[in-house]
């Protein structure tokens, strides 16, 4: 954790896991909070492993971007989490990042408790709450990826007993910091999003429009965003109305066409994290059987695709 006495720089740039070759820039004000959150997540993973479950990470959009809305992204994440848990059964534990980020009620509560705990320990350089109850500064994408890289990559070196192809019992090593607390990753795709919106409607357009109308009537967060702009300086009522209509069209366009890990910045970094883990595992063992299983949109990804890095999101180019 951070030094209690010397004032830290506002940001740090480096490898969240020393030796793992992916770099981010993260805020020092959030680092001790995310270190505590990392331990909470690790404890949940270890409980699942102690219960004999395979651990699957869910990579999915959470924040608002490209016309989406964070409330809806969180609801899709929770819906997909329940659906996958039911489909795959109790032999699997799906780690849903929406449960641990400020965008969800659960994640907000967890981080608030961490900040209160650190404050009582004497930490001074911590996020604060404004009059609306929102934490400032807002955690950056690089700060979240600092946390998730540590969650996904870090593991203690260990060995396990196994039976080889000749029927002999032996031990095999699992090196430190190669993501051995996880068995696979599920990247959310357009079919998963359509399943959320098409539960009671014949088409994806009808499903999104029905959802949007319901949320706009009942959810104050939707009302505040999609009915905003009336007091904008220099904008006429007609221009405000046009902006509101464009925002609503963008909502439909995003969730019909783009709402998947393909268009989420953090998911790009997570793809590269898992691709790098698989590359390092193969280098260490020369065995494809030690690699993580990668799924996208309900199907296992091809062997060729899992070897290819993609343009980064928040990560820094080497």
Residue 305 has pLDDT above 80, yes or no: yes
pLDDT score, position 318: 58
pLDDT score, position 3: 52
Residue 24 has pLDDT above 70, yes or no: yes
Percentage of the chain modeled with pLDDT above 90: 69
What are the phi and psi torsion angles at 102 (to 5°)?
Answer: -60, -25
pLDDT per residue over 167-197, tens digit each?
999 998 889 999 999 999 999 999 999 999 9
pLDDT per residue over 131-140, tens digit each?
888 899 999 9
pLDDT score, position 210: 93
pLDDT score, position 231: 72
Residue 128's CB is within 10 A of a number of other CB atoms, namely 11
pLDDT: is 104 or 202 the higher one? 104
Plot region of 224 (φ>0 → left; ψ -120 to 50 → alpha; else → beta)? alpha
pLDDT per residue over 67-100, tens digit each?
788 899 999 999 999 999 999 999 999 999 999 9
Residue 156's CB is within 10 A of a number of other CB atoms, namely 10
Tokens 């996958």, residue located: 84
Tokens 């091809």, residue located: 302
pLDDT band at 4 (very low <50, low <70, confident <90, very high): low
pLDDT per residue over 146-170, tens digit each?
999 999 999 999 998 989 889 999 9
Tokens 């290819």, residue located: 308
Q: Which of 100, 116, 113, 114 is nearest to 150 (CA)?
A: 100
pLDDT score, position 49: 96
> 60 with 97: CB under 8 angstroms?
yes
Span of 22-26, 56-60, 178-182, 313-317 with lowest mean pLDDT = 313-317
Span of 16-20, 114-118, 125-129, 132-136 with lowest mean pLDDT = 132-136
pLDDT: is 241 or 116 the higher one? 116
pLDDT score, position 303: 86
> Cα(285)–Cα(232) distance, rounded to whole angstroms?
60
């Amino acid at each position: 954790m951070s030094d209690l006495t010397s004032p830290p720089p506002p940001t740090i740039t480096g490898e969240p896991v020393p030796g793992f070759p992916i770099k981010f820039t993260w805020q020092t004000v959030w680092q001790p909070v995310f270190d505590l959150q990392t331990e909470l997540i690790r404890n949940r993973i270890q409980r699942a492993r102690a219960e004999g479950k395979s651990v699957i990470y869910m990579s999915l959009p959470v924040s608002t971007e490209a016309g989406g809305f964070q409330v809806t992204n969180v609801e899709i994440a929770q819906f997909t989490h329940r659906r996958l848990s039911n489909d795959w059964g109790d032999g699997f534990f799906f780690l849903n990042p929406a449960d641990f980020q400020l965008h969800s009620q659960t994640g907000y509560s967890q981080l608030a408790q961490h900040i209160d705990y650190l404050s009582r320990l004497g930490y001074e350089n911590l996020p604060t709450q404004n009059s609306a109850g929102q934490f400032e500064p807002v955690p950056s994408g690089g700060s979240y990826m600092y946390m998730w890289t540590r969650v996904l990559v870090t593991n203690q070196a260990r060995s396990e007993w196994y039976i080889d192809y000749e029927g002999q019992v032996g031990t095999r090593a699992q090196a430190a910091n190669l993501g051995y607390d996880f068995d696979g990753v599920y990247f959310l795709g357009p079919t998963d999003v359509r399943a959320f919106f098409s539960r009671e409607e014949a088409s994806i357009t009808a499903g999104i429009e029905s959802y949007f109308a319901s949320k706009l009537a009942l959810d104050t967060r939707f009302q505040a965003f999609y009915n905003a702009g009336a007091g904008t300086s220099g904008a006429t009522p007609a221009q405000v109305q046009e902006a509101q209509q464009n925002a609503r069209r963008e909502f439909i366009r995003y969730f019909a066409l783009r709402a998947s890990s393909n268009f989420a910045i953090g998911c790009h970094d997570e793809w590269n994290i898992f691709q790098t883990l698989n590359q390092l595992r193969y280098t260490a063992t020369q065995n494809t059987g030690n690699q993580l299983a990668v799924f996208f949109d309900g199907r296992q990804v091809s062997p060729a695709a899992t070897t290819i890095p993609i343009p980064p999101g928040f990560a820094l180019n080497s």
